[in-house]
């Protein structure tokens, strides 16, 4: 049996650290239910590559993502498409044969 010690973050509060951000995004905002396990691996690899902080861009090749996640190239491409469709990753620059640049959006503004 698992017992939670911390109170969940309210919907209106914004995360204060990268760990809070991941918890807020995946659990409080419900993105975990919309993602496959492979997509979580790709998202966390990209978030790690940009220093663990959202609101930054990161330049990564597919091979780098493959090596970080131990996933095949077609799986990484599929995961990136899913993450883009969810709005968790924005593909900002693409040059065939080169590394791609992705933007990891920060938290939505508090309402």
Sequence ranges of the domains in the chain: 26-104
Region 87-105: mean pLDDT is 83
pLDDT given for residue 108 in this prediction: 53
63 pLDDT exceeds 70? yes
pLDDT digits (tens, 9 = 90+) for 1-45: 433 434 444 444 555 555 676 777 777 777 777 788 899 999 989
CATH class of the region 26-104: mainly alpha
Is residue 52 within 8 A of residue 18, CB to CB? The reply is yes
66 vs 12, residue with greater confidence: 66
Give the residue from 96, 13, 21, 83 showing the smallest Cα distance to 51: 21
């Amino acid at each position: 049996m698992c017992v939670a010690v911390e109170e969940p973050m309210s919907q209106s509060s914004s995360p204060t650290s990268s760990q809070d951000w991941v918890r807020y995004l995946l659990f409080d905002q419900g993105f975990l239910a919309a993602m496959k396990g492979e997509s979580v691996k790709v998202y966390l690899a990209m978030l790690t590559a940009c220093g663990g902080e959202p609101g930054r861009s990161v330049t990564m090749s597919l091979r780098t993502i493959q090596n970080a996640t131990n996933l095949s190239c077609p799986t990484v491409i599929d995961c990136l498409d899913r993450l883009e469709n969810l709005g968790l990753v924005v593909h900002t620059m693409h040059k065939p044969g080169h590394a791609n640049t992705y933007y990891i959006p920060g938290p939505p503004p508090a309402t």
